[in-house]
Each structure stands twice: as structure tokens, then as C-alpha cells.
Amino acid sequence: MKILLKNRELSAFLAILALFAVLVALNPAYFSLQTLGMIFASSQILILLALGAALVMLTRNIDVSVGSTVGLSAIAVGVALNSGYSLSVSMLFALSVGALAGAFNGFLVVGLRIPAIVATLGTLGLYRGAMLLWTGGKWIEGLPPQLKSLSEPVAFGISPLGMVVLFFAAAGAWTLSRTAFGRDFYAVGDNLAAARQLGVAVNRTRMIAFTLNGMLAACAGIVFAAQIGFVPNQTGSGLEMKAIAACVLGGISLLGGTGTLIGALLGAFFLTQIDTVLVLFKLPAWWNDFIAGLVLLGVLVLDGRLRQALARHQRALKYSRFQPGNKGGKHVTPFPKRKKEVA
């Protein structure tokens, strides 16, 4: 149990295996790489958002505007393509829009010192309104085939965009765990004052986190446009809450400084897996959010109980001492009585 508490990635992975086992037990026909590929393809958007949300949450901030950033970026790539620009230029334009949106969030939080939840709630509506003003409330349709081809499987059931998602996750996980630049994110979220004393560029790190979050949201917008083939006027609505939930399931702390990108990826995969299972069993769509929320609450309550039990156990060990070589495990008080001194 201690291992599961200390390694939330393992917990999320075991939950994925358990749910897949239930799916196969109910219908053995779903035991195939095709099923896994389908779930992964459906989870790519949420994985990208969870990776970005994790970077921001590690610095003890939160961004609830990424759903609108996804929609704005999807509109950007669609408008650019329909205006005759090449695929590479259109994608670069969408990434620039996402990066600018993320950087603006960072400026509000870092530069103007507005609480992150307040600032990004404001930009949530701002970006959604800009999206609707840009398109006049209309859908973007008639996207070229070269964009749609990016979401078609090419190897092991994985599309080019899926490979990019895996590359981002692997590169980000390596950077956070192996480089000084990555460790700055943990330092800022763990103890802001101590990070400043150690010479960490706190404001720069938080700005980078928000900017990368916006760029990953733009990537999610590109994936959405490629998979769907058009861009509705409500693209990205509600995705921000799912991204945060995926991070929490994967072990990212809302208090900052704890968690990994692999955990965020597994959390996003698990949430998507729940939706896929409901679809495969032809349950009504309105059950998705209810069951996903129920699972999240259950995980949080169980995790909180287990952590409290572990903390009590550690405190008990801290204030107890055992004699060296005492095989009987006799308890010795931490502060033994002193012998009376002879006058």
C-alpha cells in the first residue's frame, strides 16, 4: 500500500489494467491492440491538455481557460487552411495563437499578480468570445484532406499526431526529471521563498509553464480539427475540468511541487477509457461525466484516507524508539527519565 501511495503512476496504471480486464471479461472480443489504439486515439486531446495543466499545477497555479484555447487554436488552423495557406504555416499559426494565449495568462498571474483561478476564469470567457467573434458563430468546415490524414494510423495503430503526443510526453518527462530547468518547476511549486533564495528564476519559470500550457492546448486544437474534420463553435468546452481531473488522478498535487507528466498521461488515458467503455456498452452519453466524476471523487477520498493513515503511522514511528538488537520490539519512550543525581 505504501508503494501505491508513493507511486501514483503505478496506481493509475493498475487502474487502467483493472478497467481493461473488466472490459475483456464482459466481452472477450475487445481484447485486441485495435481497442487500445482506439482508446489512445480518443485520449490524445486530453493527454495534451493534461501535460500542459501538469506544468502549471507543478508551479502551484491552475489554468481553467485551456478549453477555450483549444477552440481558438482549432479555429486558427481551420481559417488559415481555408484561406489557402499551407499545412505547416497553418499549424505554426495555431501554435502561435496558443502560445500567445498562454503567455497572456502568465502575464496576468506573474506580472499583474492576479490569482490564477481568477485570471484564467476571465480569459476563459475572453478567448471563447474571441473565437465566436472571429467566426461569427459559424462552424469551420471543408478542411483539406492533408490535415485529416495526420490522424490516420500508420504504425501499430498509431497516427503521426499520436506519435507526436508520445514524443511530447517522453521529452517532457525526461526534462522534468533529468534537467535543472525541469527541477525548477518542482522548486517553485514546493517552496516559492526557498526557490528564490536558491536563485531559481521564479517568474520566468511560471511564465514558461503558462506559455507551454497554451502551446499544448493549441496542439490539442490541431488534433481535434484533424480527427473531426471540422471545427464547431463550441470546440473545447468543458475540457479544462477534465484536464485537471486527469492530473489529479495521475498524482499531480493541487498544492504544487508533486507529480510527473507520465502520471498525467495515465490519468488522461484512464478517464478516456471510462468514456470508451460506456460507448462500447452503448450506455447513454450523459452517464460519462457522472461516472467519471464519481470515480474521481472515489479516488480522492480513498487517497486522502490512505495518506492520513500513512501520516499517522509515520508520526508514530517518529516519536518511538527501538533498542538496537531488540528482537522483541519492546517500545522505549523517546524521552527516558533521568536518574536522580546523588547530592
* DSSP letters spanning 182-220: HHHHHHHHH-HHHHHHTT--HHHHHHHHHHHHHHHHHHH
Position 332 scores a pLDDT of 47
Position 341 scores a pLDDT of 47
d(CA 156, CA 163): 10
Cell of 118: 481568477
Q: In this structure, what is the dihedral angle of CA atoms 17, 20, 21, 22, given to the nearest 10 degrees?
A: 130
3-state secondary structure 292-338: HHHHHHHHHHHHHHHHHHHHHHHHHHHCCEECCCCCCCCEECCCCCC
Per-residue pLDDT tens for 199-243?
A: 999 999 999 999 999 999 999 999 999 999 999 988 988 898 889
Position 6 scores a pLDDT of 60
Cell of 337: 527519565
Position 335 scores a pLDDT of 43
Could you report the average pLDDT of every consecutive run of 10 residues in the chain (343 residues)?
A: 64 85 81 84 95 96 95 95 94 97 97 95 95 91 91 87 95 95 94 90 96 97 94 89 89 87 93 83 74 72 68 70 50 48 46
d(CA 283, CA 268): 21
Yes or no: say if 142 and 80 are a contact pair by the CB < 8 Å rule.
no
Yes or no: say if 128 and 8 are a contact pair by the CB < 8 Å rule.
no
Burial bucket for residue 225 (CB in 10 Å: 0-12, 13-18, 19+): buried
d(CA 249, CA 295): 9
d(CA 186, CA 177): 10
d(CA 18, CA 191): 36
d(CA 225, CA 71): 9
Neighbouring residues of 72: CB distance < 8 A, sequence distance ≥ 6: 97, 98, 101, 127, 128, 130, 131, 134, 221, 236
pTM listed for this prediction: 0.87
d(CA 49, CA 66): 7
Burial bucket for residue 25 (CB in 10 Å: 0-12, 13-18, 19+): exposed
Neighbouring residues of 69: CB distance < 8 A, sequence distance ≥ 6: 98, 101, 102, 127, 214, 217, 218, 221, 236
CA angle 207, 213, 219 (to 5 degrees): 140
Per-residue pLDDT tens for 276-331?
A: 888 777 777 677 777 767 776 776 676 667 667 666 767 777 666 544 555 554 44
Q: Is 340 helix (H, G, I), strand (E, B) or coil?
A: coil
Position 281 scores a pLDDT of 75
* CA 36 vs CA 40, 154, 223, 258: distances in Å: 6, 15, 18, 29
Q: Is 126 helix (H, G, I), strand (E, B) or coil?
A: helix
Task: Give backbone dihedrals phi and psi of 306, rounded to 5 degrees, phi first.
Answer: -65, -40
Helices (H), 114-179: 116-135, 145-148, 160-178
Beta bridge partners of 140: 231
Yes or no: say if 216 and 52 are a contact pair by the CB < 8 Å rule.
yes
Cell of 256: 504544487
